[in-house]
Amino acid sequence: MKSKLVLVFGLSLGLASACMMSAAQSLDSHQWLEDVGGARQLEWVKGRNQITRAKVESDAGFTKMRTDLQTILDSKDRIPVIKKLGDYYYNFWRDADHPRGVWRKTTLDEYRKAQPNWETVLDLDALAKAENENWVYKGSECRYPAYDRCLLELSRGGADAVVVREFDLAGKSFVKDGFSLPEAKVELAWRDKDTLFVGTDFGPGSLTDSGYPRIVKEWKRGTPLSSAKTVLEGEQADISVSAYSSEHGGIHHELVNRSLTFFTAEHYLKDGGKLKKLPVPEHAEIAFFGKQFIVTLREPWNTGSKTYESGSMLAIDFARFQKGDRNFAVLFEPSERTSLTGAAYTRNYVLVQSLDNVKGKLVEWKLERNRWVSRQVALPTLGEVSVSAVDPKKSDDYTLSYSDYLTPNVYLLAHAGSDNREQLKSSPAFFDASPYVITQNEATSKDGTKIPYFVVRRKDSQNDGSNPTLLYGYGGFQISLTPYYSGGLGKTWLEKGGIYVEANIRGGGEFGPRWHEAALKENRQRAYDDFAAVAEDLIARKITSTRHLGAMGGSNGGLLAGVMLTERPELFNAIVSQVPLLDMQRYNKLLAGASWMGEYGNPDVPAEWSYIQRYSPYQNVKADVKYPNVLFITSTRDDRVHPGHARKMAARMLEQGHQNVWYYENTEGGHGGAANNAQKADMTAITYTFLWDMLKPDNASAAAGQQ
């Protein structure tokens, strides 16, 4: 009888939620702002932008801050990160002389020089001027291992949707009558010199609900796209489908991927015209290393006679795997405070990157006589570490870069199996780090979970509650926040006397899949409780106080900031919500929103909306609550997270009579917010001017603009 009562109650609650949902949608008087490019909508944006710009530009320090930021962004002493394609090393570079950027190449010997001689491959500024287009470079897909042709992706204004053109790398020119695709969100890969795997907008019904390709085809050179042969069709509710080639150690595989949700996929081996589904969990990721099959798990896998832990990285001979062998070698197994963050593959080594209590680690693995042996790599910092194989076909060289909040990036050429390293480049220090210190603390969340966070502050700062403190977080999609160097943060915040804090809350990947899954869907509130616990801990330690504490986050972190605004307004005096999700009732209907239902849940399902609505900022903001000063920042050209979220939230708060609401929308920039360094410097200056004005020490009112 009890179970029946529970079921009836649940159904009644679901019907009530459905009714509330319908009523809320009909009462959304700001939904008109979802028309991104409408004249009336852009006029509203222009008006809000003018108000915000007038506010920040009245600060005497704004112009200097913006100039300082652009100087850092355009500095010719920054490290030009390189990628080896054939015999040359390529880099994409932006500075004051090349605001849109230049794709260029050099040799390794030349790169070693203090001022290398670069050869221009493609000048984006010249191309944009010649074609009267606002081109933003989005990357290239170059054919391995010949590296003779590349597929260049060009975006209008920084959007995710791109125009694709084939480029002759040696001739440094676009290929006449080569492969080309009109603007769309695409999935592309070379099959061979005259064949592509392509997913794009083929016409009605060819895209998923998330706006990504639902169909992947094999397209032959010289034939119309309409004649391309279908490889796989996914479902409308899928995220996307794609196909690609994998080659390592002379072994070639063709693979097809059907992404069911943001975190699950079906993997197929393409053998001629047939697809064979690989028997791995949907939560797994796969790769090939010579004859070895690499499987990375997002959930436990009970196979053969063993159970492999979620977050593990496994290896097995692929031929044996196909015959049913499941006796994997374990290249990484997580512990309570460790997690896998990635891997790179040289000719003979697998480089496994991980975090130990949010500090970087690196292990080299080599297969010797059918047995995997490992070697711990000594790292010069406990901060952010990144590795990339130089030429997996020919060598065991890899680039190793590292930094932390106070250590500028160092770029090394390393050799797997050896401690020999050559420093290729080092980034200049854009601020004096000597007065500062990094500490790692822990806060206790509502359910007792320990939440680590980093603090960057002056060594002589006092715990008297007066320090302007910026708390940053993300907490989603298994993305980890690790210590990194930012000259801009140093100039705009630390040098003024501000304290910077980064919270490693649940939902992120700092402690592997379990840390992420702990805040999925109905458990989302845990991420917000974690962030609030860090804020409370900062106040309890008197590092800061509510008067001087601000919160900031972007994208999913923008949602986090929005939830702090509406759930815990008493903790903060300023909040910045960047390119945010905020209307969680309609997020799955806007642009790529449907692809994130695996993270948040489906608001169209009453049982799931019942927990989403509890935290959705747009539905929970009220006229009779005193909120912190808030700045919403977004981009008109963001075709991933719809700018309507930020627009509507600002409009609703203003309609409710809140006077401390500011809004700024860049008309370019895509989800990154800015299309070039000048725009990035401007938007960053707007953000930090706002934060300092709201959080500065009480005795710094007169001096704030002179910092």
**Cβ–Cβ < 8 Å for 492, 69:** yes
Q: How many angstroms separate the Cα of 96 from the Cα of each of 75, 123, 354, 548, 680? A: 8, 14, 37, 35, 13
**What does the CA dihedral 614, 620, 624, 628 come to, rounded to 10 degrees?**
100
Cβ-in-10-Å burial (0-12, 13-18, 19+) of 368 comes to exposed
- Please classify residue 200 by burial: count the beta carbons closer than 10 Å to its beta carbon, then call 0-12 exposed, 13-18 middle and 19+ buried: buried
Q: What is the rounded CA–CA span in Å between residue 700 and residue 198?
A: 58
Query: Whose structure tokens read 């409710």?
Result: 656
Is residue 555 part of the annotated active site? The answer reads yes
**Residue 694's Cα: distance from chain center in Å?**
28
CA-wise closest residue to 208 among 174, 172, 184, 244: 184
List 98, 642, 645, 671, catalytic entry? 671
Cβ contact 211:592 at 8 Å = yes
Q: Are 636 and 643 in contact (CB under 8 A)?
A: yes
Catalytic residue among 427, 555, 610, 635: 555
Per-residue tokens: 439: 């500490």
Phi, psi of 30, deg, nearest 5: -110, 10
Contact 372, 317 (CB under 8 A): no
Answer for the pair 530, 445: CB distance below 8 angstroms, yes or no: yes
Report how far apart the first and last C-alpha atoms of the chain are (Å, whole number): 70
Instruction: Establish whether 671 is a catalytic residue.
Output: yes
Q: What is the DSSP pairing of strand 195-199 with strand 215-220?
A: antiparallel
Pairing of strands 469-472, 499-503: parallel
User: Active-site residue numbers?
Assistant: 555, 671
